[in-house]
Amino acid sequence: MERALASANTWAFDAYALEEASNGRPLSALSFWLLERTDCLAYIGADATMVVAYLQKIESGYKSNPYHNARHAADVLQSFHAIIHQGGLAPGYVDQLTMLGCYLAAVSACVCVCVSVCVCT
């Protein structure tokens, strides 16, 4: 899985490879990896086990369809990450709390809007 995640900081990221390497859990794998790498979890003092369970719960809300699925959400999240970091927004304009909010919004956006299953309630 490290090989698939290694490209997450570049535009060469392959969501299909991550889906395969993570045994069908590309969104929770990438989300947790990014939250750890950017120190967002440490910033809020989050328990890693609880965060993983939360991310997997969100991921399980995505249905298996050709487009709005967990792989697509992982791809959107990675694109957002690349824009923030390669676009020069972090460090500087985007702090840890803002980054955490952006990442969690990207993780859950399609599950709530496109699938009509919101795990937030």
Give residue 69's region: left, alpha or beta (phi > 0; psi -120 to 50): beta
Token output for 104: 């969690």
CA 86 to chain centre: 17
Q: Which helix (H) or strand (E) holds 60?
A: helix 48-60
Q: Which residues have CB under 8 Å from 13's CB, separation 6+?
A: 7, 75, 78, 82
Q: What is the pLDDT along the chain (121 residues), one digit of tens a residue?
A: 888 899 998 899 999 999 999 999 999 999 999 999 999 999 999 899 999 998 998 888 887 877 778 898 999 999 999 988 888 777 888 888 888 988 988 888 767 554 444 444 4
pTM given for the model: 0.85
The number of beta carbons lying within 10 Å of the beta carbon of residue 2 is 7
Positions annotated as catalytic residues are: 68
